[in-house]
Structure 1
Amino acid sequence: MSRRQPVLDALFFATVFTVTFAKIYWTLAGDLSLSDVLTALFLVAFAVNRLEHLDARVARCAAVTLGFFAAFLAVYLLGFFNLDTAEALAQWAKGMVKFLLHFLFLFAAVALVARRGERFYWWALGTFCAGLVFNALYGLLQLGVAQASGANLDAAVLSPLTGGASQINVYGAIEGANVYRPNALTGDPNHLGIELVVPLLVLLPIYLRLERGHRLRTPLMLTLMFLFLTELATLSRSGLLGLASGLLVLALPYGRKLLSRQVLLPLAGVGLALAAVVAQRADFFRTVLRSRVDTGANGTSTHFAVYGFIPDVLAQNPLLGLGLNNFAVYYEFVTGRTNFGPHSFYVALFVETGLVGAALFAVFLGYLFRRLSLCRRIGRALAAGGDAAAARVSPLAWGLTAALVGTMAANLFYLTMSFYYFFVLAMLIVAAPAVFGRRLAPT
C-alpha cells in the first residue's frame, strides 16, 4: 500500500460523509463549500497516487464514466456559444466548476471503489448513510430548539464556523405561532426530504433480509425509524413522492415483507410518537397538513408552471438550450425574479442543455439502470451458487434501484440531481457490479 493511500481514503470518506452539508460554505471569490474543498483535495490525492505508481489502469465501468464526462463536457462547451450576456457567462462558469468537480469525483470514486473491493464498498455506503443520519440529527435538534424557544441553532453552531447567516425554514405562522420545517445542513427542507429518500430506500431491503438475531438488525431498524420521522418533519411533498415511488419498486420483490411485523411494528412506533406530538396541538397540525395537501396554492402552481418554459426555450435554442446553469438568467428576463431555480431538474435539463443534453442524460440514466440490472443478476447468480453474499447483494441492488427511481420522481418538482449526493449515489450504482461480480469470476 502506498504511503499516500490512507490520506486518499480519508479524503474519500470525508467527501462522501459531507456531500449533503450545503450550509457549510465560505464566501471568498464566490461560494466555496466544504464539499468543493474536500472533493478537490480528493481528486488531487487520487491523481498523485496514480502518478506516483505510473498507474493508469481503471475498471471498465470507470472508463465508461470518463466517456460520459467527455460527452457532457462537449455539450456544455458547445452551449457556451448560446450565451449573450456577462451574467449568463458568470452563471455558466459557476455551473462548469460544479460539473467538473462532480463528474471527476464520480470517475475517481468509481475507479477507487472498484479496485478496493467489497469491504471498502460497504464502508463507502455506510459513510454516506451516516452523513445523512448526522444531517437528520442536526435537523431535529434545529427543530427542537426553534419550537422550544424560537432560537436559531445555526447562529450558534454554523455562523462561527462559516461567518455567514442561516436559519431553520419558517413555513408560515398560525395564530402567531411559527411553523418550522428543518432544513438541517442542506439549506432547504425539501432538499433534506429528497436526500433522505436514498438511505431510507437503500437500507430498507437490507434490513428486511437480515437474519433474526443479526447484530445490525436493531440498529438498522432504529435508523430507519429516525430517518422516516425526520422525513415527515420536513413536510416535503417531493420527498414523500420519491419515497412512495421507491416503495412501489421494492414492492416487486419484497411485497410481503413490507407488510410484515418487521416493518409494521417500527411504523407503529413512529405513528405513536407522532400521535403524542400532534395530540398536544391538534388544530395547529391540522392547519399545517391542510396547507401541504392544497394543490391550488401558489407554490404548487409555480412547480407546474415552470414546465411551460420548455417549449418556449426549445423554440429558440432547440439543440443546446440556453447554456449550463442559465435558467435563472432566463427566468429573470421573463419575470424579473433573480436567482430563481427551475424547481424541476427536468426543466433545467431541457432549458439549459436542449434536446442534445436531455438525450445524453437519458443515455446516462439508462447506463445506471443497466448497471443495476447487472447487479441484480449477480445477486441471483450468487444465490444459485449458494453464496451467502447473495443475501446482501440482491437487497442492495433493489435498494439502489428504488433509490434511483425515487430520486428521479422527487426531481419532477425539485432540483437535487445536480447536487453532490446524486453523484455518490451514481458511484454506488456503477461500482457495485464491478465489486461483487468478482465472486463469479472463478465460474
Structure 2
Amino acid sequence: MRRLTSFCFLASLFCVTFEKIHWNFAGTVSLADVLAILFLVSFVASTKRATVPRTTVVLLGFFGAFLLVYLAGYFNLTDSDSLQQWAKGLAKWLIHFAFLAAAVVWISRRGQWYFWRALGWFSAGIVANATYGILQLLDARRGGNLDSTLLSPITGGASQINIYGRVEGAVVYRPNALTGDPNHLGIMLIVPLLVLAPLYLRLERGHPWRKWLMLTIAFLLFVEAATLSRSVVLGLLVGALLLAIPYRRYLVSWQLLVPIGTAVGVLLVIVLTRRHFFEVLLGTRVATGGKSESAHFSIYGFVPQILHTHPVFGLGLNTFSVYYEFVTGKSNWGPHSYFVALIVETGLVGTALFGLFMVWVFGRLHRARALGRALAASGDPLAARVRPLAWGFTAAIAGTLAANAFYLTIQFYYFYALTALALSVPVVFARRPR
C-alpha cells in the first residue's frame, strides 16, 4: 500500500501543471485531480498512526477557517450559475487543501531523501511541460497542432497553441504547453527557476547535478521568453531581488552568468535573424496604453463595488466569472487578478484570512532559514542545502504572488503542491536522517 501511495503522490506532483489533460465528467476532472484523490484514499487507508507534525495541525486549523468563510459565502449566491460555480470551486478546494495537509504528513514520515525525490518529480513535471511547449511551438510553425495530435485522442477535447496575432503577415505564437494560457505557463515556470537557482549556486564543484541544473535553468529561461508574458517579468524580478540579498556575491559569478548567458545568446541569435519582426513584436509587449493593459488595470474597479454591496464574505467562492459576465456581458472570463477575485469572492474576511495564511507560510520559511543558519554554525554540511531551499521557496512564493496581480494561478493545484513542499522543509530537515 505504501508503494501505491508513493506512486500516486509522486505522479500527482509530476502532473500538477498538466491542465489540458482533463475530461468533462460531472464537471472538469483533470488527471492531477484523479491522482490526488487516489493519493488521499491510499494515504488514509495506509495510515496506522494518528500523530502528525504541528505544521499539519495548523493547516487543519486554516482548513476549518477557510471552509467557514466559503460556507458563509453560500448565502450571498444569487442564481443557479453562481451555485454551480461555487460547488465546483468548493469541491476542487477540498481536494487541493486536503492534499496539502496530507502531503506534509507523508513527506515528513518518509524523511529527507523522499523530500528530494518529491521536489525532483515536481520540478521534472514542470520541465516536461515546458518541453512540450517548445515542441508545440515548433509544430505550429510548420502548420501543425500538437494538441490535436497528442491530447485530443486522450481527452476528447480541442485545444491549441495561443495565437497572439500577426506581424508582417506572419502568425505570432505563444506556447501554452499543457496549461490553458501562456501566462499561466510562464508563471508556473517561475517556481523551478527560483527554487533551483539557489541550490545550483551552492552545489559543490564537480557535483553531478550541477551541470544538469545549469542546463535546466537556461532552458526554462528560454521558454519563459517564448511565453511573452509581462507578469512573468514582474514575478521573476520580485523573486530575483529577494535572492539577491543572500546571494549577492554570486551576481557576477560564472555559475550564474553561464545559464543566463546561454539563454540570452540563443534568444539573440533568433532575434537577429528577423530583427524587424521582433522589434515590432516586443514593441507591442512593452506598450502600456493598449486595450489589454487598460482592461487589466480596470478590473480593479470591481473591488469598490463589491466592498460596498458584500464587504464581509463577498459573492461566494469561484463566482468571479459569473460576476464578470454580469458586469461586462462577456463570457470569456476576461482579464484576471487573483487578488481581485479573492476580494470579490470572499470579501474582507476571506482576504484577511488568506493574508494571515501567507504570513504563516513565510514564517515557516523564516524558521527554515534559521535552521539553516544553525546548521551552518555547527559546521553541518546540510546547511548548504537547507538555506538555499528556504530562500528558493520564499522567492518562488513571493514571485508567484506578485505575478498574480494581473493573472490567476494561485488557486490552481500546483500552488498547493508548492506550498506543501515549502512547509515540509523545516519539518523534514529539523530531523536527522535515519
Q: TM-score, normalised by structure 2?
A: 0.98
Q: Is 2:53 aligned against 1:56?
A: no
Instruction: Give the Cα separation in 2 of the matches to 1:266 and 1:24.
Output: 31
Query: What's the secondary structure of 1:437's corresponding residue?
Result: coil
Residue 18 (1) aligns with residue 15 (2): yes
SS in 2 for 1:208: helix
Q: Find out whether 1:86 has 2:83 as its counterpart.
A: no
Would you say 1:110 and 2:107 are equivalent positions?
no
Give 4+ residue runs of structure 1 displaced > 6 Å after superposition: none
Cα distance in 2 for residues equivalent to 1:416 and 1:312: 24
Alignment of 1:1-400 (within 5 A): 4-50=1-47, 53=48, 55-147=49-141, 149-340=142-333, 343-400=336-393
* SS of alignment partner, residue 178 of structure 1: strand
2:403 match: 410
Distance in structure 2 (CA, Å) of the matches to 1:186 and 1:433: 31
Distance in 1 of aligned mates of 2:266 and 2:2: 45
Q: Relative to 1, partners in 2 of residues 1:337 and 1:33: Cα closer, same or farther, differing over 3 Å?
A: same
Task: Give the Cα–Cα distance (whole angstroms) in 2 for the partners of residues 304 and 369 of structure 1.
Answer: 28
Q: Give secondary structure in 2 for the equivalent of 1:36.
A: helix
Does the CA-based 8 Å contact 1:203-1:399 persist in structure 2?
Answer: yes
In structure 2, distance between residues paired with 1:89 and 1:95 = 10
Distance between the aligned counterparts of 2:433 and 2:261, measured in 1?
A: 41
1:302 Cα deviation from its structure 2 partner: 1.1
Give unmatched runs, 5+ long, in structure 1.
Answer: none
Q: Is the Cα contact below 8 Å between 2:73 and 2:315 reproduced in 1?
A: yes
Alpha-carbon distance change, 440 to 14 in structure 1, aligned in 2, over 3 angstroms: closer
Counterpart of 2:2, as a letter, is Q
How large is the Cα RMSD of the aligned pairs?
Answer: 1.2
In structure 2, distance between residues paired with 1:265 and 1:155: 37
Task: Report how many residues are paired.
Answer: 434
Cα distance in 1 for partners of 2:207, 2:325 equals: 55
Q: Deviations over 1:165-219 (max 9, x none)?
A: 0000000011221000000001110000000000000000100001111111101
Could you tell me how far apart the structure 2 residues matched to 1:231 and 1:357 are? 32
Q: What is the DSSP-based 3-state SS (H/G/I as helix, E as strand, rest coil) of the residue aligned with 2:280?
A: helix
Identity %: 58
Q: 2:18 touches 2:179 (CA, 8 Å); kept in 1? A: yes
**Residue pair 1:327, 1:342 contacting (<8 A) in 2 also:** no
Distance 1:25 1:324 in 2: 22
Q: Who is 1:433 aligned against? A: 426
Q: TM-score, normalised by structure 1?
A: 0.96
Farther off after superposition, 24-33 or 97-106? 24-33
Deviation at 1:342, TM superposition (A): 5.4
CA contact (8 A) 1:72 1:360 kept: yes
Could you tell me whether the CA contact under 8 Å between 2:112 and 2:433 is conserved in 1?
Answer: no
- 1:121-152 residue CA offsets vs partner (Å, 9 max, x unmatched): 111111110000000000001111112x1211
Per-residue deviation at 1:440?
A: 11
Deviation (angstroms), 1:379? 0.2
Tell me the distance in 2 between the aligned counterparts of 1:389 and 1:332: 52
2:25 is matched by which residue type in structure 1?
A: L
1:248-294, CA deviations, whole angstroms, 9 ceiling, x for partnerless residues? Answer: 00000001202211111222222221121111111111111000001
SS of 2:423 mapped into structure 1 = helix
Deviations 1:315-366 (CA, angstroms, capped at 9, x unpaired): 0010000000111111111111125155111001101000000000001001
Q: Distance in 1 between matches of 2:137 and 2:231?
A: 20
> For the Cα contact (< 8 Å) 1:342–1:348, is it kept in 2?
no
Q: Displacement, 1:82?
A: 0.4
- Check the 8 A contact 2:133/2:175 in 1, yes or no: yes
Asked if the contact 2:163–2:173 (Cα under 8 Å) also holds between the matched residues in 1, the reply is yes
**Aligned AA (1:187):** G
Q: CA deviation at 1:396?
A: 0.6
Distance in structure 2 (CA, Å) of the matches to 1:370 and 1:211 = 29
- Distance, in Å, in 1 between the alignment partners of 2:355 and 2:344 is 15
8 Å contact from structure 1 (residues 380, 390) kept in 2: yes
Which consecutive unaligned segments of at least 5 residues does structure 2 have? none
User: Which shifted more, 183-192 or 271-280?
Assistant: 271-280
The 8 Å contact of residues 193 and 240 in structure 1, kept in 2 or not, is answered as no
Secondary structure at 2:160's aligned position in 1? coil
